[in-house]
Structure 1
Amino acid sequence: MAGFPTSARVVIIGGGVVGVSALYHLARAGWSDCVLLEKNELTAGSTWHAAGNVPTFSGDWALMNMQRYSAELYRRLGAEVDYPMNYHVTGSVRLGHSADRLEEFRRVVGMGRRQGMGMEILSPGDLKGRYPFVETGGLTGALYDPNDGDIDPAQLTQALAKGARAAGARIERFCPATGVRREGEDWVVETQKGEIRCEIVVNAAGYYAAEVARWFGRRLPMVVMSHQYLLFDTVPELESWSREVGHKLPLLRDVDDSYYLRQEKYGFNLGPYESACKAHWITPEDPFPQDFSFQLFPDDLDRLEPQIAAAMGRVPLLEQAALTRVINGPIPYTPDGNPLIGPMPGVPNAYEACVFTFGICQGGGAGKALAEWITEGRTEWDMWSCDPRRFTGFEEPDYAIAKGKEIYGNEYAIHYPHHVWPAARDRKCSPLHEALKARGAQFGPFNGWERALWFARPGDDTSEAAQRTWRRDGPWEGAVAEEARAVRDHAGVLDLPGFSRFRLSGAGAAEWLARQITGRVPQPGRLGLGYFADETGGIVTEMSMACLAPDTFWLITAATAQSHDRDWLMKHLEPGLELRDETADWTTLILTGPKARDLLAPLSDADLSLPWLSLQEAQVAGRPVQLIRVSFAGELGWELHARPEDAPALWDALVAAGVRPFGMFALDSLRIEKGYRGWKTDLSTEYSVLQAGLGRFVDFSKPVFRGREALLAEVDAPRARQFAALALEGPAVDVPALSTLWQGDTIVGEVTSSAWGYRLGHCLALGMLDRALCAPGTVLEVEVFDRRYPARVLAEAELWDSSNARLRA
């Protein structure tokens, strides 16, 4: 056998299922010069004690894609690499106790149908046919997933390892990585066996990922939770039934009582998710261990009593089983429960594939996505919900602990569209936070920044329980309607802290920026919208470009895009140019509505006759601002960009002048009525700039810009789908993103965002649709919670102020 490798193209740190899957997919993509380092034996971390469940169910599009792909891969993997695996595709039943839970199931059934999976809803009467030992009292129904099952995690990992080795990759076991350092354009990975020089490093270290991240100067947003599952001995009645029918029971999940119950041979595996959960390795008394390989925490059954009792009541057969073993192992959690897959923020040629709470069911898809990031610089599915750059550095350890415990304790909770989880709030507050709160503001976090979602009126229900609804007529409905109509008829003001903001400067900045975007760069004193494409023409990001002076720009983008967009800009920045992050140095107020000019004029020395998309330095209420004439609400308006300490004076002056505060819920409705796209909702890497209907922002007269060749080819041979706006009839609920569009029995597209239009008086949706069906007036159907409602393609003239007369007034 060859000696220890001293160089490689890629080094992966961590030998759990995710790291080995990444190695397997890299090698299968032709990148065979890759080495995986594992401090102990493969699977020594979370993988070895994982229960091995392989669900495809998810309310997140990227996670569902990953899990679907994993299940498909695992069904064929053993034969492909000639390695025996115990993979039981048993199907599963997921029990519902309420009408709202059934709505969630219907939502996921529709998503699964869009991805080619045959999930179905069962009535309580039908359930007995799938799971004869269940008591159906109190149930409203169940979701049946035929692709669910369980797999042996060690066999899965070894099969992936065999496939990776066969394709030329190397695995070094019992070889702990001890550090990394940067030398020129290379990484040097230090190990107890020697050093390996490489181009790319991957942190796939599982619950050790935070320790590895420190070598790169990175604080990883994660916490380690303990998760217990209980193994029960053979139950004769279950054995007799299984032998008679020739298969296992489906996996049962009683999500409203927060546990799963799986047949294990002829006994049971019970896995609760308890609200009285426990985080580990967070105090000096419980320090992070140097080596926890193949180890477990002590049993702690007392906190599981409610779930154990519920499971025995739901499946009385469980009471006959003798408890044989308790597995209590470490499971990592991010603050939102999704893993980290993709580029490491701020670090060149470093990637993360770690903090997997459900690594077995996501491992196959995660390895595929990570390999695509490395080999192609993009992924087939838009993976933003798992991108490490969605976290921006404010997530202190106490935040990660609080959110991790909240996620774990609500693992099976329904995620309603307007519900805001309460843990670890007020991390970033506007200077106006208390003033907004005094006026009834109900807040939600955007990259940690608390923004007003809506303003409660006397008598409005502001309890957390009231947010838990699928219906449109939540307690905010009347207030949001009033806010939107105030913007339509008079003027509104929105406090918008946290815009990601970068100052680009240096000789040649304008020329450089022109090569980065698909369209034109604005001249001094003007604002433009820039779309950044990848080599395939897919939409990477969108930024507002304010030209403050020749070769000096503000690049303003979404709060959540801060790390993502900064990394993209820095990756391509040329010598002599400077990019400075000024996000914390400024805040923004939005003043918009037909009376905006009349109300602003007495307060300001600005020239308010300057046209739409102009900017100027001015005084408002005696405070200096950058005044930009633009409005995402689609009305006459200005953005007031000011220093945070000046915001209270600006707010007080505007409110005293009669301007009504409004929130993000109203803004979302207003922008959808205009057909304005939102980043990572309507604008995705899965859609090209032209496909998204943004051809006016593509300037082919420029000889060079990223994605030009792909977009030129698309002009000659347009993609099969195109952006469209639709009027929806009937649904009394908020239409979720990625709801399916149908024509007859054919799926023809998906909704990307939707809202009730208070100015137009009907429900609208933006979406991606088969190009042949984009003609105005085409009648389709939208699937909402497994029911279909009429949808009609709108002409541009049917959107609010399609001529922009109000914007330009």
Structure 2
Amino acid sequence: MSTVPTHARVVIIGGGVSGCSVAYHLAKLGWRDVVLLERKQLTSGTTWHAAGLVGQLRASQNMTRLAKYSADLYARLEAETGVATGMRQCGSITVALTDERREEIYRQATLARAFGVDVQEISPAEAKAMYPHLNIGDVVGAVHLPLDGQCDPANIAMALAKGARNNGAQVFEHVKVERVLSANGRVTGVSWTRGEESGVIEADHVVNCGGMWGRDLAASSGVTLPLHACEHFYIVTEAISELSRLPVLRVPDECAYYKEDAGKILLGAFEPKAKPWPAPGERIRDDFMFDQLPDDFDHFEPILSAAINRMPMLESAGIHTFFNGPESFTPDDRYYLGEAPELKNYWVAAGYNSIGIVSSGGAGMALAQWMNDGEPPFDLWEVDIRRAQPFQRNRRYLRERVSETLGLLYADHFPYRQPATARGVRRSPLHEHLKARGAVFGEVAGWERANWFARPDQDREYRYSWKRQNWFDNNRAEHMAVREGVGLFDMTSFGKIRVEGRDALPFLQKLCANDLAVEPGRIVYTPMLNARGGIESDLTVTRLSETAFLLVVPGATLQRDLAWLRKHLGDEFVVVTDVTAAESVLVLMGPQARDVITRVSPDDFSNEGFPFGTAREIEIGMGLARAHRVSYVGELGWELYVSADQTAHVFEALEDTGAASGLKLCGIHALDSCRIEKAFRHFGHDITDEDHVLEAGLGFAVKTRKGDFIGRDAVLRKREAGLKRRLVQFLLEDPEPLLFHNEAIVRNGKIVSIVTSGNYGHALGGAVGLGYVPCEGESEEQVLASQYEIEIAGTRHKAKASLKPIYDPKGERVRL
């Protein structure tokens, strides 16, 4: 039995495909003293029973990049390590049984083309020719990806482990990590046991690749890692004599996938209501290894019945194996990667939602690069651990949510789809007021937010579609109220951070690209940049006093932004405090906003007395608030920051007073449709840490003359070298099609990029989108001289392109 070392540069916890991939890639980068500890045997948790599907197309460009990397890596691993991986590119077919699903898979095909993935839309007859056993009687469309594949999951992990060892890593089985050790806010090592033996490894870094054990391990260190296991079912048939090699087949409308292997069919399920495991109050047994869970044929039977109709040959095929094993799922069906915000050098790669094989190769590469370079190799926000909310480690919440998220993998991925489970955790003080007035709520970061308001005669629920949904006309009414009258939004979900202390100004000047050396009461819009000039945060900063600042960020990015601030806090005399729950935010917007607020407050709201970009304490009703004159919708208005105890009173005062002006309650969908008409950027879609601030069109918020700040050199270099791409606004000429995001941008007949965000511009009369266009060596005039189209589900639509906001290009309306 080999001796466990006492020192390591990094300890990786968990010997599934994820941990083996991280070890492999760190060792490949030249890291020495890489140690992987597995509690039992490699692959013995989930990896050994994974289906091994390798589908390249994911929901975004970078996730597709990682999946393609995995496929390429697995194809060459066997030659490198001598371990047979079973990797073969047999292709995949996805079939649609409804018009809505056809729209979805055809949109995915457009996305695949934009990402350089080989894809073809095929007819039902063509699908039948590729998959002769398929019943196509009700199939309305299909998509074929010829380079998708399948592999042997356990051997993939073994090959990665061998490759890691070949490059100097040490891999230990039957060594259980009892605890991650830390001091002064950073990792110092791990304590471990092996039978009667125990010890400590001092380490600079720890990576939690613990799979379904990961949540509890993280929680013991105060780290949030929201995941929970569910039972996952599949059957394997007896050998079928007439079976030839076949592509992977997905029938998402029947929650099923089919994989041919060695003359047998594996039929797997992503049923709409899953079974979380283990039961409440129970924990995973310490001796759990290569284990199966009890059969539940009744649970699987609806999937099997549909499968026999879909592939009639199954009716006479014997069942060789009925399998039920646990896999971990997350609240949003996206895995976790990156450094935990609570503990320096505590890294995570876990929660793969049944796509761990196709994800782990790329995720291991990306995390290794991140650890090596101190920053991610490209935008990884959608899987970043910093999106997790602290409350999401709650086990009751997780059990309820993952019962839904497993099935959502194969559900229709409609735009604006809201989770149905584990709702109501975070609510504004106005929640019941808005509910009584017809609000239909959505959820972001656990916050319940009014997305739109139903009429009294209208059902208060979403009816999802890829076409106009049931709230389209409601959104138009709210949108036009903001454009022509006055609307009121509840934006309590904004993240609010106080930064204060003697050194608050120099600290923020170091992080922010804009100049914050302004008088108290001034509001500054600013990005925070990384060393590459990419946008780490998008925020407003209000100077409250000489030593106190309020940072307002999107609710979804609060944990990320707090982590970024604290990461860069050195010896400065500065305190960073999350004050989100202390204040509500009521947003009064529209050309009649001044008329309303002056009837409920005695203060001066004129342009002279209250100019744009300033904040003042005001009297309102019988209470007090702090009014910020800013706008994310492009109209005159104020954000009103009200202490939680006075929120209901201020709301009622505004509502009563505003009735005479036709004040309309508005939801998040109207906020978004208004902001995109003004070409205001949305963090996570239009701007990310991979997007250079100048190419994003935000150079006006960068002041290089103020002195040094993070990203300044990258800005100066880009100004010297010129832009390689520009963020462009598009308006479709045809008023009927809709844009959401990920549609293809076509320039002079060639796909050049994708739409980063889209919505319907009700004031402009058509769908509006934003997206980057390559422009190296080109002037603005040359960029705009081209012919543009947007491809939606294979059909191209003419579009007007603009580098200035098409609505109110001079920005005059916010200063009415």
TM-score by structure 1 length?
A: 0.96
Q: Aligned match of 1:720 in 717, 724, 740? A: 724
| SS of residue paired to 1:518 | coil
Alignment correspondent of 1:365? 362
CA distance in 2, matches of 1:495, 1:164: 52
Sort the Cα spacing of 1:64 and 1:497 in 2 relative to 1 into closer, same or farther, 3 A.
same
Alignment correspondent of 1:644? 644
Q: Is the 8 A contact 1:297 1:328 kept in 2?
A: yes
1:508-657 correspondence runs (5 A): 508-521=503-516, 522-575=518-571, 576-608=573-605, 609-657=609-657
Alignment correspondent of 1:7? 7
Sort the Cα spacing of 1:325 and 1:763 in 2 relative to 1 into closer, same or farther, 3 A.
closer
Sort the Cα spacing of 1:574 and 1:338 in 2 relative to 1 into closer, same or farther, 3 A.
same
Structure 1 residue 131 displacement after superposition? 0.5
CA distance in 2, matches of 1:567, 1:463: 36
Alignment correspondent of 1:422? 420
CA distance in 1, matches of 2:86, 2:240: 21
Sort the Cα spacing of 1:14 and 1:138 in 2 relative to 1 into closer, same or farther, 3 A.
same
CA distance in 1, matches of 2:756, 2:450: 23
Structure 1 residue 62 displacement after superposition? 4.2
> Is 1:693–2:697 an aligned residue pair?
yes
Sort the Cα spacing of 1:423 and 1:773 in 2 relative to 1 into closer, same or farther, 3 A.
farther
**More divergent stretch after superposition (612-621 vs 449-458):** 449-458
Number of residue pairs aligned between Structure 1 and Structure 2: 796
**More divergent stretch after superposition (579-588 vs 757-766):** 757-766
Amino acid at match of 1:555: L
CA distance in 1, matches of 2:780, 2:68: 30
CA distance in 2, matches of 1:329, 1:78: 27
Q: Is the 8 A contact 1:508 1:551 kept in 2?
A: yes
Amino acid at match of 1:494: F
CA distance in 2, matches of 1:484, 1:666: 5
Structure 1, unmatched stretches of 5+, are: 243-247
Structure 1 residue 215 displacement after superposition? 2.6
Q: Aligned match of 1:410 in 408, 411, 427? A: 408
Amino acid at match of 2:188: W
Q: Aligned match of 2:272 in 272, 275, 283? A: 275
CA distance in 1, matches of 2:460, 2:220: 45
Kindly provide the CA deviation profile for residues 581-629 of structure 1, in whole angstroms up to 9, marking residues without a partner as x: 1011111000111111121112113221311000111111121111111
Q: Aligned match of 2:433 in 402, 420, 435? A: 435
Alignment correspondent of 1:102? 102
Kindly provide the CA deviation profile for residues 46-68 of structure 1, in whole angstroms up to 9, marking residues without a partner as x: 01111211122433444333222
Sort the Cα spacing of 1:424 and 1:62 in 2 relative to 1 into closer, same or farther, 3 A.
farther
Structure 1 residue 761 displacement after superposition? 2.5
| SS of residue paired to 2:791 | strand
Amino acid at match of 2:356: G
CA distance in 2, matches of 1:206, 1:646: 45
Amino acid at match of 1:756: Y
Q: Is the 8 A contact 1:528 1:546 kept in 2?
A: yes
Alignment correspondent of 1:245? none
| SS of residue paired to 2:631 | coil
Structure 1 residue 259 displacement after superposition? 1.0
> Is 1:344–2:371 an aligned residue pair?
no
CA distance in 2, matches of 1:607, 1:198: 60
Alignment correspondent of 1:23? 23
Structure 2, unmatched stretches of 5+, are: none
> Is 1:807–2:814 an aligned residue pair?
yes
Amino acid at match of 2:241: P
Alignment correspondent of 2:388? 391
Amino acid at match of 1:430: S
CA distance in 2, matches of 1:411, 1:138: 22
Alignment correspondent of 1:317? 313
| SS of residue paired to 2:807 | coil
Structure 1 residue 151 displacement after superposition? 0.8
| SS of residue paired to 1:605 | coil
Alignment correspondent of 2:239? 234
Amino acid at match of 1:502: I
Structure 1 residue 731 displacement after superposition? 6.4
Q: Is the 8 A contact 2:84 2:155 kept in 1?
A: yes
> Is 1:307–2:307 an aligned residue pair?
no
CA distance in 1, matches of 2:485, 2:536: 36
CA distance in 2, matches of 1:649, 1:250: 62
Alignment correspondent of 1:208? 213
| SS of residue paired to 1:202 | strand
Structure 1 residue 88 displacement after superposition? 2.2
Alignment correspondent of 2:204? 199
Q: Aligned match of 2:485 in 486, 490, 497? A: 490
Structure 1 residue 774 displacement after superposition? 4.7
Alignment correspondent of 1:753? 757
| SS of residue paired to 2:705 | coil
Amino acid at match of 1:256: D
Alignment correspondent of 1:680? 684
CA distance in 1, matches of 2:729, 2:218: 44
Alignment correspondent of 1:788? 796
| SS of residue paired to 1:481 | helix
Sort the Cα spacing of 1:443 and 1:54 in 2 relative to 1 into closer, same or farther, 3 A.
same
| SS of residue paired to 1:422 | coil
CA distance in 2, matches of 1:437, 1:279: 31
Structure 1 residue 45 displacement after superposition? 0.9
CA distance in 2, matches of 1:720, 1:651: 47
CA distance in 2, matches of 1:411, 1:787: 26
Structure 1 residue 183 displacement after superposition? 3.5
Structure 1 residue 3 displacement after superposition? 4.2
**More divergent stretch after superposition (73-82 vs 634-643):** 73-82
Structure 1 residue 777 displacement after superposition? 4.9
**More divergent stretch after superposition (764-773 vs 309-318):** 764-773
Q: Is the 8 A contact 1:276 1:303 kept in 2?
A: no
Alignment correspondent of 1:122? 122
CA distance in 2, matches of 1:550, 1:769: 42
Q: Aligned match of 2:285 in 278, 282, 289? A: 289
CA distance in 1, matches of 2:84, 2:481: 66
Sort the Cα spacing of 1:599 and 1:121 in 2 relative to 1 into closer, same or farther, 3 A.
same
Structure 1 residue 16 displacement after superposition? 0.5
Sort the Cα spacing of 1:548 and 1:209 in 2 relative to 1 into closer, same or farther, 3 A.
same
CA distance in 1, matches of 2:5, 2:523: 53
CA distance in 2, matches of 1:276, 1:450: 23
**More divergent stretch after superposition (221-230 vs 602-611):** 602-611
CA distance in 1, matches of 2:70, 2:309: 33
Structure 1 residue 186 displacement after superposition? 4.7
Structure 1 residue 214 displacement after superposition? 2.3
Sort the Cα spacing of 1:109 and 1:578 in 2 relative to 1 into closer, same or farther, 3 A.
same
Amino acid at match of 1:495: D
Identity %: 35
1:451-470 correspondence runs (5 A): 451-464=449-462, 466=463, 468-470=464-466
CA distance in 2, matches of 1:410, 1:749: 27
Structure 1 residue 130 displacement after superposition? 0.6
CA distance in 2, matches of 1:186, 1:386: 22
CA distance in 1, matches of 2:65, 2:669: 29
